Amino acid sequence: MLGLTVWGLSLGQALLITGNILLVSVTALVGNKISPSADLATVPVALQFIGLMGATLPAALLVRLLGRKKVFLIGNSIGLCGAALAYYALNQSDFWLFCLSTFLLGVAIGIGQQYRFAAVENSPEGKGPQAISLIMGGGVLAAILDPNLAVWSEYIIPDTQYVGAFAALFVLYVITTLLVAVLPLKPASLEEQTGTPRSYKELLSQPLLLASIISGAIGYAVMVLIMTATPLAMHSHGFHFGHTASVIQWHVLGMFAPSFFTGHLIKKFGTSNIVQAGCLLLIACILLNQFGTSYWYFWTALVFLGIGWNFTFIGATNLLTQTYQPADKAKTQGLNDFLVFGSSAVASILAGYWQSLFGWEILNLLMLPAIFIAMFAVYLSMKQSGKTA
């Protein structure tokens, strides 16, 4: 059994992911609606990613000083402030205030990425992969809740489009804050707080750490880039928004539904094999996108993309937990998240530009070299460390 704390963290993660997806659904639309210039419409989205990236290293270091619970409560408090500010800014049609709100929400999201590490620390010995899987499985609830929440909240405030989404986001952060407040999270150990961490140079000299960061960053970036470009590609082939929404929803389910058994697969077949299987599924997605552009080609490719991301991300996270000592934990986790989520931010920015510049098929093919690099890095690290899993 994984215990009440891990299940509670999973529910909290599900609520945060629901809020994140809701935010992604409306931020660009709000920016387009209230920005003083069309050129500035995506600034709120960019600031959200900047906030996320900027929070990863400080959040991990604060965990060392304050412990998980206090840092999670700080993150949720920032999320509450961001959601309230966004609500006010949209009511006032204040674009720059809305930009500040999305930056704060990005910071909250960045801190929330630490939930998966907390799950490992609060799980029974040997149950780390299953704990990570359960945390990521919370995304299934998000995939079911979010489309309904987005539609329900669009005009919840009469005559004011999208404001209701931030009211809903505020409520989600309130519930998550209360949940974290009552969970019995383990405090940081004395060794974590007082030990001397190794330098970045020493940490990165570990082949296993390099492999975990490379495979996690590439898996995430490939997924984000293809996912972000998919609506544009489907629109260019004449699909209605309903078809696109359906494909994206199934993709999100593909991202999170396998989490309920990924941990068991890791235990049975080994972490490196699951990461490699995830990379092969990403390649299968790319190949499918070369053969056709019907609805079912898009649907199948995006489901493969989601499952491939799941295997690479959970596998890479599990590899990472094997590379640090207690004193190194905060430094290593912060570095990993900064690079992984930084790569996804760059991918989201490049997606639209590359889709218009190269087209759908070429955009997909450009991902192959990166995937091969990830596969080779994992293979080489296993060979050098003498491990087989």
Does residue 147 have a pLDDT over 70?
A: no
How far does CA 26 lie from the centroid of its chain?
Answer: 17
Model pLDDT, residue 159: 61
- pLDDT (tens digit per residue) in 227-246: 878 877 887 888 876 787 78
Model pLDDT, residue 280: 97
The total of other beta-carbon atoms located within 10 Å of residue 5's CB is: 18
- pLDDT (tens digit per residue) in 33-46: 787 876 676 678 77
- pLDDT (tens digit per residue) in 250-306: 888 898 888 888 888 988 899 999 999 999 999 999 999 999 888 889 999 999 999
Report the pLDDT averaged over residues 65-88. 90
The band of 153, judged by pLDDT with boundaries at 50, 70 and 90, is low
Query: What pTM, to 2 d.p., does this model score?
Result: 0.80
- pLDDT (tens digit per residue) in 92-146: 888 899 899 989 998 998 888 888 778 777 777 777 777 777 777 777 777 676 6
Model pLDDT, residue 356: 80
The band of 221, judged by pLDDT with boundaries at 50, 70 and 90, is very high
**In 3D, which of 283, 284, 256 has the Cα closest to residue 370?**
283
Average pLDDT, the chain: 83
Model pLDDT, residue 16: 77
**CA triple 175-178-181, angle to 5 deg:** 150
3-state helix, strand, coil split of the chain in percent (to 5) is 85, 0, 15
